Amino acid sequence: MTTVIGGSGLSPELIARVREATEAAAEAARAWFGRGDKNAADAAAVAAMRSVLATAPFDGTVVIGEGEKDDAPMLANGERLGSGGPALDIAVDPLDGTRLVAEGLAGSICVIALAPAGALFARNDVFYMDKIVAGAAGRGILDLRNSVADNVAALSSALGKAPSELVVVVLDKPRHLGLRRELEAAGVAPRLVGEGDISAAVQAAIPGGGIDLVLGIGGTPEGVVAACAVRALGGFMQGRLAPQTPVEPRDGIDGILELDDLVESDDVLFVSTSV
């Protein structure tokens, strides 16, 4: 299944080519489904996606790509793609959920987001970000600076649900043990997912998408890609850089990143295809 969000300012030809690129990546990754080699699945998706984007009708620069974290030879930060046209930032996650593909599990997607040149947050030396994502009801009432209990209470009131009725998604990682305890103390049974925080963020922003709130630390690139969809859908999102590895700098990372900081334009396109 392919999901297309936004893109009203782009040509139908470009949107079709971006869709083709995500579908080609998904098809390439699918060949490695359940074969236990997540690196091979990722490499296949990257190559297939780049092949299509290389001749797409735009002047694109990858600002959120495979990047330094993955030491990728293609779709790396700074790479120029396209045959000419509007100058656009490109954010890609050729395969969000590599482990899921390797283990033959559902939930992985291939994703591209486009925005006008200079519109996307592009801090590529900090690989992880703390995030909070919700639908339009979260605007003006949720804040990463608030306690988990306060955010749960505010959203419960706005949605007319008891805390126990909220669907709150958290990545199933050791770093989230404290967050899970805070949610449980606030009356929420968090829904744990192994991978796929882009998909969760999009579902949280979609009215009736089945997810009320996404919390916790995930990838910075995934956060920026998700922000494009959240903005196009009119949802709420904040981020805060959260280094998790020794190579990530600790200086200059303070402060909340609002949705406008993550993507500075409403003229965005988000396309994803399920593997």
pLDDT of residue 45: 93
CA-closest candidate to residue 94, choices 75, 114, 73, 81: 75
pLDDT of residue 70: 53
Contact 174, 103 (CB under 8 A): no
Q: What whole-number distance in Å separates Cα of residue 59 and Cα of residue 137?
A: 36
pLDDT of residue 72: 57
Q: What whole-number distance in Å separates Cα of residue 275 and Cα of residue 254?
A: 36
pLDDT block averages, 10 residues each, the chain of length 275: 92 96 96 92 93 96 74 78 96 89 90 96 89 96 97 97 97 96 97 88 92 95 93 96 90 90 95 94
Tokens representing 76 are: 């790396």
pLDDT of residue 122: 86
Residues of the chain with CATH 3.30.540.10: 2-116
pLDDT of residue 71: 55
CATH of 128-264, one of 3.90.1170.50, 3.30.9.10, 3.40.190.90, 3.10.150.10: 3.40.190.90
pLDDT of residue 250: 87
pLDDT of residue 67: 59
Residues of the chain with CATH 3.40.190.90: 128-264
CATH of 2-116, one of 3.90.550.10, 3.30.200.20, 3.90.180.10, 3.30.540.10: 3.30.540.10
Cα-based distances in Å from 33 to 26, 29, 107, 227: 10, 7, 12, 28
**What number of other Cβ atoms are within 10 A of residue 154's Cβ?**
18
pLDDT of residue 239: 96
pLDDT of residue 163: 97
pLDDT of residue 197: 84
Contact 53, 269 (CB under 8 A): no
